[in-house]
Chain A
């Protein structure tokens, strides 16, 4: 699910995005509430119409941005008290208010307001935030059901509990008890700089316990290997700014690993990013050399690589769907890791995570190293 923070996938038009085979994008409630503001969205008839998007839309609750973008935010039982970026006045965002804003935006999937703490936080604050998130979920559900929009908009709960397995477990129990009143579950409080080896264990714990008949949405996941591991652990959907943001910096994602097209080694390379890729950039024959010439200097360079990266991610996930349907998902995982990381070595945490669901990436790959830590694949100067 690509991210359109301010009601636009950066640089593209909705017609371009749908042509890429993408039918679900994310808007940020916090940002849209500030600009253009609810009044404008109401006048336009909701965010779909405002941005000319005919497909599905998801909005987050705004809780994450309150904490990540605003250092004065105070969380009270009533809601999140923050300094308005417009006038500096204390402003309260309550769970009810968050849901009302999301009603005005009109997204197909909306998120509860959660009490977000950094995934690196330890101590009693994590437990407090988890329990408050559950109480706020109840308020969100009440408000959403009363609004009469529950038939058009689907409310997701957000599982919190930091990196503590016991807290996660309690949160899961409470939220699963409310299953009939929520449309799906998000796994929150991750992707905040925690160890990958801890990250996948939390995902697995949640995915193992969440009901099979509700979608599970892992928030803020965008690296290819993270996405496939999450899918293997039982996650259904994810969002991240990574493919679009990295495109603007000149990095193209491929099944053989990322390409930093700004590096000198690409300046005279007349081959496309990926000859087999169906995206407009590759199928239109845009060469790495042509992209090298314009990237970060002309917006058209960012547009071209953004189109490509979105298709890369859509293909990565599309192939996962096909493999699951055909019963060949383990083989897909193995071939993906072999081409994506090759001889450079596999991240150890991926190997461990996939072993936990019965897939041994190293089977028949005795010569492949494993790399500790958050090892990811990156294109470096020669």
Chain B
């Protein structure tokens, strides 16, 4: 496995354990190539090994996709799991078509965003979900699979309960004991010369119990003695053997349901801090399952997290929502002669974080997706010094790229690549509205590349602000403005879901007529 290095930059005032921080993650591969990811950075989540809706060429062309998080559970449908049979030094990259110079692959057993109730985990296994039912996976199997798949980063098997909360003290204690034992078991094989060591991340467990979370972390940094010490040698503590920590927000939020806390976001931050307080300051902090851009901004500020996933950006692509927000909150770039409306403003005065393009309001809207960014074609018309040039959305929908080499199928073909004449124009809201209403998959592909790019841009803008003098103070102000400007409830997602539910009810022959009828009825209300 390639060697992973994480360095915090000292440009930010980083004396405190919790607060905004900047870092660089470098992965040095055996073949001499290396890959760098700046933090705070984006984790791209996957389903069945692929970035939802993106073909392999689109995945490589979407620059936002760098750290790729792969739940392994879908592969447990077959025994042995198919990717373990691929073989070779980068088996998982090869099997799934990721590029070693571009993509860092991290492997977990479960999909962190799947909070559905599951059968209880056991003393020597956890329950994983596949479309063919639940499968048990043991720490020994997990180690074998990871050795065969060769991802860049692996998460140690952990006992995170997915049974009905609340969790008893006894259940939480068990979760801590098992997770600790399984981590020790994994680390014990790190010195096995027959196998390359893993870059290990550990899930910080303890559910909603701050003391339990703290106890788990203290256990990680505590020097071990006797047999336990022999087991994990040369490491003196478990913490020495891990490269970073994972915090599972989906599980945290689920276990906080019914708990007496005025603000769930603050409660989540507090629990994250309880886990991190005893641990090494300089190690990678990974968050799974954020639920809004606000979460990201808050966790950068309150906790100092380094990597974030954004399952909501993928959900938005599924629902037909094109993200449109910017940090710091700023007026849309001024480009003369182009109308491009901002997202809807809610009753409380807050803006949606995106456009629900399924809504008929967009049927005649021929502008690009986002008002807060411009497209490459527009940028190419602007003078070099124009400030709007800094706000180009580089996604494949706003700035489509014509391939330099188109296939030629016979000697008599003269395939004229017309790209030399002018830039590709961005895809429009009206076009995607049409594709959504006609159930065309291309709509989701265009939205997926766009939404990931917008979130990646958010993280780039966070880094930019933090790297400037006085950045941290300004960050706190600007984050506050962001919370005030944009709707954290994501009402636009609920609206889109309701509209799709209606489509489901009305689908089938005669749908267009039923739709028209029910729209008429709504108007009359």
Contact = CB atoms under 8 A, between A and B. Distances in A.
Interface of A: 6-16, 18-21, 23, 31, 34-36, 39-40, 43-44, 49-52, 54-55, 85-88, 267-268, 270, 278-281, 284-287, 289-290, 293-294, 297-304, 307, 311, 314-315, 317-319, 321-322, 325
Contact of B411 (A268, A298, A302, A322): A322
Nearest to B87: A270
A49 B516 CA distance: 28
Nearest to B50: A300
B420 to A, nearest CB: 11
Contacts of B50: 294, 298, 300-301
A268 B82 contact: yes
B95 A290 contact: yes
7 contacts: A13-B427, A15-B401, A18-B402, A21-B409, A36-B433, A54-B424, A270-B85
Nearest to B402: A15
Nearest to A307: B55
Nearest to B435: A8
Interface in B25-55: 47-55
Interface string B395-438: 01000111101111111110111100000110110110111011
B445 A290 contact: no
B56 A298 contact: no
B264 interface: no
B512 interface: yes
A15 B403 CA distance: 7
Interface in B190-231: none
A31 to B, nearest CB: 7
Interface residues of B, number: 65
B425 A52 contact: yes
A298 to B, nearest CB: 5
A298 B51 CA distance: 9
Given A270-B95, A300-B54, A300-B56, 18 more contacts: A6-B440, A13-B427, A20-B406, A40-B364, A52-B425, A268-B85, A280-B57, A281-B56, A293-B74, A293-B82, A300-B52, A303-B58, A311-B407, A318-B410, A319-B409, A321-B409, A321-B411, A321-B412
A13 B49 contact: no
A23 B97 CA distance: 27
B94 A21 contact: no
Contact of A11 (B96, B428, B445): B445
A39 B221 CA distance: 67
A294 B74 CA distance: 10
Nearest to B56: A284
A303 B85 contact: no
Contacts of B408: 21, 318
A50 to B, nearest CB: 6
Contacts of A15: 396, 400-403, 424
Given A86-B512, A285-B97, A297 B131 contact: yes
Contacts of B97: 284-286, 290
| 8 nearest CB pairs, A to B | A318-B409, A21-B407, A19-B403, A318-B410, A303-B55, A11-B441, A6-B438, A321-B410
B55 A16 contact: yes
B430 A293 contact: no
A230 B52 CA distance: 39
Given A13-B396, A44-B430, A36 B55 contact: no
Contacts of A321: 409-413
Contacts of A21: 406-409, 413, 415
Given A13-B396, A299-B444, A300-B55, A36 B430 contact: yes
Contacts of A20: 406-407
A11 B409 contact: no
A243 to B, nearest CB: 14
Given A11-B441, A293-B75, A317 B402 contact: no
B442 A10 contact: yes
B170 interface: no
Contacts of B116: none
B510 interface: yes
A271 to B, nearest CB: 12
Contacts of B267: none
Interface string B318-350: 000000000000000000000000000000000
A95 B438 CA distance: 26
Given A285-B97, A290-B49, A85 B513 contact: yes
A315 B407 CA distance: 10
Given A8-B435, A267-B82, A285-B97, A297 B48 contact: yes
B446 interface: yes
B431 A51 contact: yes
B366 A44 contact: yes
Contacts of B96: 290
A252 B50 CA distance: 19
B86 interface: yes
Interface in B491-522: 510, 512-513, 516
B413 A318 contact: yes
A278 B47 CA distance: 27
Contacts of B435: 6-8
Contact of B57 (A10, A39, A284, A298): A284
Nearest to A269: B82
A267 B364 contact: no
Contacts of B364: 39-40, 43
Nearest to B404: A19
B56 A280 contact: yes
B322 to A, nearest CB: 15
A106 B51 CA distance: 36
